[in-house]
A and B are shown apart, each in its own frame.
Chain A
Amino acid sequence: IYLSFSRKHEVDTLTKVHNRLIGTKGEARPSRCPDNSAFKQQKLPAWKPQLTIAAVLSCFFLTGVFCLSVGVCLIMSANSVREIQIDYSDKCSDCSKLRENSSNWNKECHCSINFMLKEDILGDVFMYYGLQNFYQNHRRYVISRSDAQLLGRNIQKSYCAPFTTYRNGTPMAPCGAIANSMFNDTIDLFYNLNSSVIQVPLLKTGNSWWTDKNVKFRNPKSYNLSSAFAGTARPPYWQKPVYLLDEEDERNNGYVNDDFIVWMRVSAFATFRNLYRRVRRIRQFADGLPAGNYTFHISYNFPVTKFKGRKHVILSTMVWSGGSNPFLGIAYVVSGTAATLTGFVITVIHLKGHQNTDLHFKNYDLIESLD
């Protein structure tokens, strides 16, 4: 952009000399007069928003009304959600003690928790397990995985350390801290109907994102799963290898196991829930869970006491606006109220101030409103 002045002159002279040589008149030299274009003269047609009283007030009131109405809708829909949350981390005190000692990893521990539904839970019912104080979002934890491996590829380099290989060189499948610390309780729900116990049919699959299940997670290609994972070992905390996660369903085994996929989607907060099962709506559960007594049968494998964590099991329905969290609705209502109130305040100030200020401003407003 920059050209020092005398050099510019030098060039000018050159052109002048040139012109003289080829016999053209000096007029051929273009004038240095800038273009008189709207852009260069900074006169582009422009809209200049002006915060006039009319604009401001309408803005505030419209926002207020809109937010209030949306907020009321949201709160109402959030209130329609039915949710039951049961903390079972201490309910099975034996188990939690047992699990504190990691040497007991292969000892099974079961416990059952009874609860009563006072009224039906209608619609789709989702079963979650919830963890508290489990920092899945810890930086080193979050990156301790290998997406390439989970796609069924061989990996050279990963962030899985120190959960990449065993000392003897056997690679872990899947590698990394996330996979290693996978939630491995099994929870079953039983409906106690007239002293007969009916197992509530639960769906194991379809709980993860479709893209995860079908794109992001792939088993290594081989004629069967066990051969695909040959030469690898289970992660240290696991009780069984990855190809035995779901022996009943080939399409829910290995890396594409839904529970595994759900776990691998690391949670944003230390207190979170993950979708575990969905109630299959057949027979008496066609409309959801009927009121009555229920029992959770839990095989307690996942230790939480050593990090002061807690475990929950949650039954909940869903609405269009998500779960039972009413916050968004409240936020809308509050901000709507605030906007409306502000509108009123401005109106009051305006009316009061109007009497004091001279006619000058009235003129502006009149003109503005005319516009």
Chain B
Amino acid sequence: MIWKKHFFKETCCRCGAPDTEIQNEELETRGKVKKRKKKNENKRVIISNLPFGSKKRKENPNIYYDSNKIKTTKYTILTFLPKNIYEQFHRFANVYFVVIALLNFVPVVNAFQPEVSVIPICVIMAITAIKDAWEDFRRYKLDKEINHMGCYIYSREERAYVEKCWKDVRVGDFVQLQCNETIPADILLLYSSDQNGICHLETANLDGETNLKQRQVVMGFSSQNTLFEPEFFRNTIICEMPNNDLNKFKGYMEQPNHERIGFNIESLLLRGCTIRNTEAAIGIVIYAGHETKAMLNNNGPRYKRSKIERRMNTDIFLCVGLLLVMCLVGAVGHGIWTGNFSEYPPYDVPDENGNFLSPVLAGFYMFLTMIILLQVLIPISLYVSIELVKLGQVFLIHNDIDLYDEEADLPIQCRALNITEDLGQIQYIFSDKTGTLTENKMVFRRCTVDGIEFSHQENARRLETHKELDLDDEDFAKLQHFTLPPMNIETPATYKQRTVRPLRRCQSARAHFQGHTRNRSLGRRDSNQSQVAFSSAIEKDVTPDSRLLRRVREAAFQAENLSPFMHTKTSTSFTDFFLALAICNTVLVSTATEPRQRVTVPPPIKPSGITLEKIHQIFQRLKLASLSQSFSSSQSSSDLGASFSAKSTEEHLAVLDCCDNGDNCCSRGDELQGKGSTDIGSASLDEVFKSVTNSSLPTDFCYEAESPDEAALVYAAQAYSFTLVSRTPEQVTVRLPQGTLLTFDILYTLGFDSVRKRMSVVVRHPLTKAIVVYTKGADSVIMDLLEDSSKAEISAEKRMKRIKEKTQKHLDYYARDGLRTLCIAKKVLNEDDFQKWANFRREAEAAIDNRDELLMETAQHLETKLTLLGATGIEDRLQDGVPDTIAALREAGIKIWVLTGDKQETAVNIAYSCKLLNQRDTVFTINTENKETCESLLNLTLEEVKKNYEVEKPWRRFFGIIPTSFSASEAPSPEFGLVIDGQTLNVIFQGGLEEKFLALTKHCRSVLCCRSTPLQKSMVVKLIRRQLKVMTLSIGDGANDVSMIQAADVGIGISGQEGMQAVMASDFAISRFKHLKKLLLVHGHWCYARLAKMVIYFFYKNVSYVNLLFWYQFFCGFSGSTMIDYWQMIFFNLFFTSMPPLLFGILDKDVSAETLLGLPELYKNGQNSEIYKLSTFIITMLDAFYQSLICFFVPYLTYKDSNIDVFSFGNPINTISLLTILLHQALEMKTWTLFHLVTMIGSVVFYFVFSLIYNAACVVCNPPTNPYWVMEKQLSDPIFYLLCLITPVIALLPRFFIFALRGTFGTSLILKAQQIDKLPKGQQDHEIQKLRSRKQTTSGAPVASPTSHAVSHEDTENQGLSASEVNPLRKETPEEGYYFFNKWAEEEPTATDSSAGPFSGHYLLVPSRVTTPGQDGGKLSKDNANSFNQGSHRRSVSAVTL
């Protein structure tokens, strides 16, 4: 160490270079590390631990860093009590009760024996403490388990890696990791057994992504060929302080000779990940224990306060008010009572010194005494009960089998424990689109190359069959029956076969479909086909478009015939297009047979490769002809055959693959060919499946992509025989249709980021040696980056322009079809340019400070002047049951917004397909960047909406009141949808237009926000939540939804394919969107109803009980006497009446799950907080007062003037109120199970048993009160029984009367639903249907009217342009963009393109730039943009411009 210090001092002097600042700083920090200071230090310095033996341990700077021992427990045995008590005192209620208990110790004011009065609060706190302790103990056990896992650390003494526990790992240690080992800490990778210095990771534990990630040994560090020797590691590592960013890490390593080696996250192995495919890896520990990124990311549970709790807190304040009033009455009463006596009566006992208090002082003391006496008015047990009930509710939700996803083996996870009832009060849902509404399983659907569109009809058909096949085994068999026969004349033999086989068929079908369920942990299943790592069969199999396939073959053939790879313009774009698809990505390849054996080395080309290749090519040409024939024939003869051509192609490919290995494949190929063309139809489906799975397996590649889009594109390329064979950081190998293996050198990979919205790879073509940039990205970006055509030749320019226009047209069409679009472009660089750029890039990479900005800049520099190759359309399929769920939620009165980062067209289309928007809805689109325009647009639309709304209103209200009578002739009025984009949102937020926006959205059935950033998403949620004071729910699956999830009252994460961030941030995590239906409609409703009723009941219980004491004060001179023994009072709340409400809160079901699902309308009950609101609270309070009056005065009047003593009087009162309170609960209960019955009866029995024992057990154990033998005496008195019979009856008569009235004559939906519940099964459905149909017609939702009002973009565009005349608002709103008003109406479809999608009622308020990119710049539109007019609204396409 000493020599090192000197060394550094010297260097410091020597280099007064520009970057000494950092060095100085670093040296400073270095020096200071020893003194354990941390003066705004933002760097961490790590050196090897090895030079410091056990003796010099103290000198090691690393010892000041956290060790790897983790401790997530809050308490230790010693600190538990003080810490837990301290934490419990953060709850106001606890403080309140403790203060009251302490007050009781003051002799003048005490109401009870002070020692006893501490008991309730102690019990409550003890229960909470036990709960906390148990949770903490579980954490402790887990910690221990993790801390004691083993790993290998280099030991200097033994000169070898010795096994140690995880907790003994220290920063600066060298850890050797083996395959499949979990990484114990954040480790900087220094050595990997892989020859390229790569180490593979599975990060599923961290972010849920199952694809393997590559980590690289610190670039340029040591030679990989020699084994790494920790002893000789003398470098100093300087890196950033621990932070929780999983994707960022930077630092550098300083060698003894002062050379610096930079490294980043690519070299960091994160704790919790698993090493895969790498024999051994060695690294130095950088962060350990709680400082690791994984642990820093691990936030504890979230505490949210639910709406009911907020409501409850205000009611508690009401109770406090009530308490004060009652105490005041007591105080004043006592003062007056005391002042009445001229002389002290014998029963007014003076204090110990024989002095009496003055009436005023006595009154004041009595005030305090009364507070103690009536403290229970604030329900002490409520908080604990609510917590317990919520635990129970969470348990039940968690165990719901309907919310369990079989595929992922995941039940619902309830991460927040205290907002279950909020699920029943949701008014707004904000949903992400991708991965939430859709499956996030990308399927290649269409592509356009060179301006020519290829529709991939066969593929579409295949997907449809897939969808249907997914349904069921029965359906499957039916489908088979339906699809197969018309094609072939079945021979009796095959017929027989078929009849024999159904069982096997099912099995094989099963096996196949299992294959495309996503398999998370590999190696769990041993069947080969299930080891598809990332993509399902749907995504994998792409049926090539026959037209395109032919063209590709031709192109390849041409290229072959001409001198190899001298590309002509026409042919090359096809080849290039697919090459780009195959290369331009970060997809990793592994083979299916050996899972996770990554193919990094291209399969060695055999010596005879060339000849084989030749044969292959011949075969290829032969086959090509027949293939296309077969396709065309099958297509023409029957569509059904084509639907299976996916399989046949697959087989062909398989054959192609076999051909690499042997010569005898031709014959097989022919066989297959024959099959493909004619037999395919007759072959039963399972046979096809089998052959596919069998034949394609050996050389089947598995592609592991970071995003499913990428994989889909690679699979698409594969379908056209551009197969990605292997990928290393340096090289990528692609097999061409000819069978040739081309290995490209990857010069650079510019990864995808959301700012650039594109990614590029720079490769060197192996044959031409040209440097090619392939870029793939969002169309909006790529289109702007295309080569400036002015420089090119005129003909080429024209061609380019034409292609661009056409492609754009196709892109628009794709987007309208709901496809995700990507543009593919390329650029050829010359060597000099590239070198220049490469230097620039290297500098940027070496930069430390603003590396990100520089890298971005360099990337942007490269990605210019691109040549458009084509574009792809990928479908993101809707999840199962999404439309149904959305319809149900909508019916439940929930407004659903979709907030997505996607394009407008895609989003609108998904909205239509998932029934978020109806065909007949009027849809407004607002896209603008200017505040004034935005404002006027909002005004305009608002007016428009209001006009409609006012017409609607009267009859709506009419139906709201009398739902039974309605006339069906009433035309359903349209509902409104609003589409808005991120920019406009920004304008709204910045321009203070929120209110108008909200006013507009209030009338809209659904709102779509497209192209919105995560921040905007959360801003929208916050805006709605704050301004409208509504309950909001956000649901999303990706990292971009995290802020939105956190902003909402209830955040739901979908544990889908995009990692775990959303789940980590959520309150509940489900695996499918459709689970939301049951979660909200059933569990939400139940939880809300249960908890709301329970809370109300608790208030009632306490008030009605405490009031008994209050009434007694009027008969004891307001002296604070109690007629009930204190122990019995304590037990009353803690035990006798606590279980039934708890059970009620957990298990009650007012309506069955089936009915709740059948009648989503029932959800409105919770939405409007109908069970627990101020009015119900007040009514309950009044009822409590009434009941307590009865419970007190009936016994009072009965025992009046008798020789009854205090406790003998209190005993029947206590008993009566117990019975009343329990019977009240019984009235509230809608479901009686055995549990309910047992607890009810148990409570009463327990009360009597306890009272009997307590009253008999001790004579003097509880001075000064002494209820000895009171219960026994009472039980022998008939009056007691007569009282116990009549009083609850009188007390509950009014409530029962109202219940009876409601039960027999009430028309509330809940009651009807309850009645329906009682009906037999068949009738139930019938009744539900009846109710629903009635509701639907009243709510004005159109039943069905599939009139298509298709209006294509082109049409609106043209009309918009042509109608640009009058513009009264021209001067006021000089703004870029013009606007359309096309009204849904009874107009004929004016669309030229019939499949243009359901853009029927679509108000387009779009700036032209977006909709008409094909036009010459924005000039024309700019002119038009200056006009604005309000069109006539009865025209279907009333296009108005300004």
Interface residues in chain A, defined as those with a beta carbon under 8 Å from any beta carbon in chain B: 1-7, 9-14, 16-17, 20, 25-27, 31-36, 40-42, 44-53, 56, 59-60, 63, 67, 70, 74, 128, 130, 134-148, 151, 153, 158-159, 161-163, 177, 180-181, 209, 211-212, 215-216, 237, 262, 265-275, 306-309, 320-323, 325, 327-328, 331-332, 335, 338-339, 342, 346, 349-350, 353, 357-358, 364, 367-368, 371
A135 touches B1116 (CB 8 A): yes
Q: What size tier do the contact residues of chain B reach?
A: 35 or more
Contacts A51-B1304, A136-B347, A267-B1206; is A13 near B1117 (CB within 8 Å)? no
Within 8 A of A (CB), among B1249-1286: 1259-1260, 1263-1266, 1268-1269, 1272-1273, 1277-1279, 1282-1283, 1285-1286
Can you name 17 A-B pairs with beta carbons within 8 Å? A3-B139, A4-B301, A4-B415, A5-B413, A14-B145, A14-B182, A40-B401, A42-B396, A42-B1153, A52-B1304, A151-B1259, A211-B1269, A211-B1273, A269-B1204, A331-B1198, A332-B1282, A367-B1319
Contacts A6-B1060, A267-B1203, A268-B1199; is A350 near B1304 (CB within 8 Å)? yes
Contacts A56-B1303, A211-B1268; is A6 near B298 (CB within 8 Å)? yes
Residue in chain B with minimal CB distance to A147: B1260
In the complex the two chains form, what is the Cα distance from A4 to B272 in whole Å?
14
Indicate whether B351 reaches chain A with its CB closer than 8 angstroms.
yes
Within 8 A of A (CB), among B334-349: 341-343, 345-349
A17 touches B142 (CB 8 A): no
Using A1-B394, A269-B1199 as known contacts, list a sample of 19 further A-B pairs with CB atoms less than 8 Å apart, ordered by residue number in A.
Answer: A6-B294, A10-B205, A17-B274, A27-B524, A34-B404, A35-B399, A51-B1300, A51-B1304, A134-B345, A137-B1116, A139-B369, A147-B1259, A216-B1266, A216-B1268, A265-B1205, A267-B1204, A306-B342, A322-B1279, A349-B1301
In the complex the two chains form, what is the Cα distance from A163 to B346 in whole Å?
12
Residue in chain A with minimal CB distance to B300: A4
Question: How far, in Å, is B1420 (CB) from chain A's closest CB?
Answer: 54
B1317 touches A48 (CB 8 A): yes
Residue in chain A with minimal CB distance to B417: A2
Across the interface, which residues of A come within 8 angstroms of B415, CB to CB? Answer: 2, 4-5
Partner-contacting stretch, out of B563-571, B722-730, B870-878, B1225-1233:
B1225-1233
Interface residues in chain B, defined as those with a beta carbon under 8 Å from any beta carbon in chain A: 72, 111, 135, 138-139, 142, 145-146, 149, 180-182, 204-206, 272, 274, 294, 297-301, 341-343, 345-354, 369, 391, 394-396, 398-401, 404, 406, 409-411, 413, 415, 417, 521, 523-526, 964, 1060, 1063-1064, 1069, 1086, 1115-1117, 1119-1123, 1147, 1149, 1153, 1194, 1196-1206, 1208-1210, 1229-1235, 1259-1260, 1263-1266, 1268-1269, 1272-1273, 1277-1279, 1282-1283, 1285-1286, 1289-1290, 1293, 1296-1297, 1299-1305, 1314-1315, 1317-1319
A134 touches B1260 (CB 8 A): no
When the two chains form the complex, which single residue of A25, A31, A307 contacts B409, counting CB atoms closer than 8 Å? A31
A140 touches B352 (CB 8 A): no
A177 touches B1268 (CB 8 A): no
Contacts A6-B205, A269-B1115; is A11 near B1282 (CB within 8 Å)? no
Residue in chain B with minimal CB distance to A43: B1153
A346 touches B1208 (CB 8 A): no
B346 touches A177 (CB 8 A): yes
B349 touches A140 (CB 8 A): yes
Across the interface, which residues of B come within 8 angstroms of A138, CB to CB? Answer: 347-349, 1116-1117, 1119, 1121
Contacts A5-B415, A321-B1278, A358-B964; is A144 near B1259 (CB within 8 Å)? no
Contacts A5-B413, A216-B1268; is A140 near B1202 (CB within 8 Å)? no
In the complex the two chains form, what is the Cα distance from A272 to B350 in whole Å?
23
A143 touches B1265 (CB 8 A): yes
Across the interface, which residues of A come within 8 angstroms of B180, CB to CB? Answer: 17, 20
When the two chains form the complex, which single residue of B524, B1204, B1302 contacts A268, counting CB atoms closer than 8 Å? B1204
A141 touches B348 (CB 8 A): yes
In the complex the two chains form, what is the Cα distance from A312 to B121 in whole Å?
46
Question: How far, in Å, is A284 (CB) from chain B's closest CB?
Answer: 27
In the complex the two chains form, what is the Cα distance from A138 to B1263 in whole Å?
16
Question: How far, in Å, is A109 (CB) from chain B's closest CB?
Answer: 18
In the complex the two chains form, what is the Cα distance from A357 to B964 in whole Å?
9
Residue in chain A with minimal CB distance to B394: A1
Across the interface, which residues of A come within 8 angstroms of B1206, CB to CB? Answer: 136-137, 142, 266-268
B401 touches A41 (CB 8 A): yes
A335 touches B1209 (CB 8 A): no
B1268 touches A215 (CB 8 A): yes
Across the interface, which residues of A come within 8 angstroms of B404, CB to CB? Answer: 32-34
In the complex the two chains form, what is the Cα distance from A47 to B1236 in whole Å?
10
Across the interface, which residues of A come within 8 angstroms of B409, CB to CB? Answer: 31-33
In the complex the two chains form, what is the Cα distance from A371 to B1317 in whole Å?
14
In the complex the two chains form, what is the Cα distance from A4 to B138 in whole Å?
12
A181 touches B346 (CB 8 A): yes
B521 touches A26 (CB 8 A): yes
Across the interface, which residues of A come within 8 angstroms of B1197, CB to CB? Answer: 325, 327, 331
B1201 touches A56 (CB 8 A): no
When the two chains form the complex, which single residue of B406, B1198, B1264, B1278 contacts A320, counting CB atoms closer than 8 Å? B1278
B1315 touches A159 (CB 8 A): no
Residue in chain A with minimal CB distance to B351: A162
A33 touches B406 (CB 8 A): yes
Question: How far, in Å, is B332 (CB) from chain A's closest CB?
Answer: 17
In the complex the two chains form, what is the Cα distance from A144 to B1119 in whole Å?
14
A306 touches B345 (CB 8 A): yes
B1303 touches A143 (CB 8 A): no
A327 touches B1233 (CB 8 A): no
In the complex the two chains form, what is the Cα distance from A32 to B404 in whole Å?
9
Residue in chain A with minimal CB distance to B1237: A47
B1202 touches A272 (CB 8 A): yes
In the complex the two chains form, what is the Cα distance from A67 to B1289 in whole Å?
10
Across the interface, which residues of A come within 8 angstroms of B1289, CB to CB? Answer: 63, 67, 335, 339
When the two chains form the complex, which single residue of A4, A34, A147, A266 contacts B401, counting CB atoms closer than 8 Å? A34
B1230 touches A48 (CB 8 A): yes
Across the interface, which residues of B come within 8 angstroms of A49, CB to CB? Answer: 1229-1230, 1232
Question: How far, in Å, is B169 (CB) from chain A's closest CB?
Answer: 15
Question: How far, in Å, is A304 (CB) from chain B's closest CB?
Answer: 9
In the complex the two chains form, what is the Cα distance from A268 to B1274 in whole Å?
15
